[in-house]
Amino acid sequence: MIVATGITRTFAGRGGRRSTPVHALRQVDLTIPDGGAVSFIGESGCGKTTLGRILCGLEGFDGGELTIDGQPVSRLRERQRAPLFRRIQMIHQDPYSALNPTRTIANILGDPLALRARQLGKPDDWIAGRRAELLGLVGLDPGYVLPRYPHMLSGGMRQRVVIARALTVDPEVLVADEAVSMIDVSLRLGILRLLRDLRSELGISLLFITHDVATARYVGQDGELYVIYRGAVVEHGSTDTVIQRPVHPYSQCLLSAIPVLRGIEEPGPDRLIPLAPLEERVEPPGCLFRPRCPFARDDCAGRQPPLGRLGGTEQEHACRYPQNREVVAVPAANA
């Protein structure tokens, strides 16, 4: 289980000493339960990728604490951290650059497995067996892919190889950051289904980072969804609740932006758009979403509302005036 409390990450802004710092993450709390599915959604630059990288140990944090299986990361030495972060593996967005083009798939999977064999005290012939087993698990034919180089495989196959490679070290958590956005549409669902199956069959928990709410729903319908805006969680609850009954206007804008398949769907009656584009350089007082919020009132400029269940909502949210709005597309009557 991964528990993050009050995670803060600030980057120095552009322009030297006079620049304003960029708040990538502001006091983020989250929990990834064993075998659970958690999704982060938000627009580009909201901090969802930074958060994923921190959870994988690829990035440090300035404040708060990250606890992996009961061990607080910031109190551990580098050498003690490594085996902890080994349990958390990342699936990158781009399967075209995530694999070494000069090595065959046999090598790409064989090397980490050789290391793993030494760790586990297994004989050398265990490697080939395990390699075939992992490829079977991700739906690839070992006879076909093992002698090949990455460029000889389709994007979907490459992403399966990337997933197989992540599985070589027996992870407990997979972090998938926009893992299907570069894959052909007809192959995407196969990868999403694979991630779902790995969770149900191996009990691997899944952290799914995306701007595409529909794929987050597919992968983790029974899981939890965090809506992140400018580094802060603005809505969090069960995936179904947040998608079907969002109460924060930012979540509602995100859900409204999903293209409507006219003919079989109709736009939700309350579909809305933000008043203005994101101005990253401006830090408004009070609620960060206020300048773009169609429902902002004067006192929204006051204190930023903390994440809570104001108004007795099922999910947590950070809005002073939570209101349920029907923004998600609905099946068309004549379909």
Q: Which residues bind another protein (CB under 8 A)?
A: 43-44, 154-157, 184-190, 192-193, 211-215, 217-218, 221, 243, 253-265, 273-274, 277-278, 328-332, 334-335
Fill in the DSSP letter of residue 308: B
CB distance 224 to 35 below 8 Å = no
The answer to whether 292 touches 278, Cβ cutoff 8 Å, is: yes
Q: How far is the CB of 111 from another protein (least distance, A)?
A: 27
Smaller CB distance to another protein: residue 115 or 330?
330
Pairing assessment for the beta strands 63-68 and 71-72 based on DSSP bridges? antiparallel
The string of DSSP letters for 180-217 reads TTTS-HHHHHHHHHHHHHHHHHH--EEEEEES-HHHHH
In whole angstroms, the minimum distance from the beta carbon of 6 to another protein comes to 26
Which is closer to another protein, CB of 41 or CB of 173? 41
**What's the CA gap between 3 and 71, in Å, rounded?**
10
Which of 73, 157 has the CB closer to another protein? 157
Q: Which residue has the tokens 């993050």?
A: 4
Q: Which amino acid is at 66?
A: L
Between residues 194 and 319, which has the closer beta carbon with respect to another protein?
194
Closest separation in Å from C-beta 289 to another protein: 12
What is the number of alpha carbons within 13 Å of residue 46 lying toward its C-beta?
23
At its nearest, how many Å lie between another protein and the CB of residue 274?
Answer: 7
* Rounded-to-integer distance, Cα 168 and Cα 44, Å: 31
Would you say 185 or 282 has its CB closer to another protein? 185
Contacts of 156 (CB under 8 A, 6+ apart): 183, 184, 187, 188, 190, 191
Q: In whole angstroms, what is the distance from residue 191 CA to residue 156 CA?
A: 7
Name the region of 114 (left: φ>0; alpha: ψ -120 to 50; beta: rest): alpha
Smallest separation (angstroms) from another protein to the CB of 157: 7
In this complex, which beta carbon is closest to another protein, that of residue 204 or of residue 243?
Answer: 243
Tokens representing 281 are: 């350089």
Inter-axis angle of helices 125-137 and 155-167, nearest 10: 130
CB of 306 to another protein, least distance (A): 25
Smallest gap from residue 45 Cβ to another protein (A): 8
Please, which residue, 143 or 259, has the CB nearer to another protein? 259
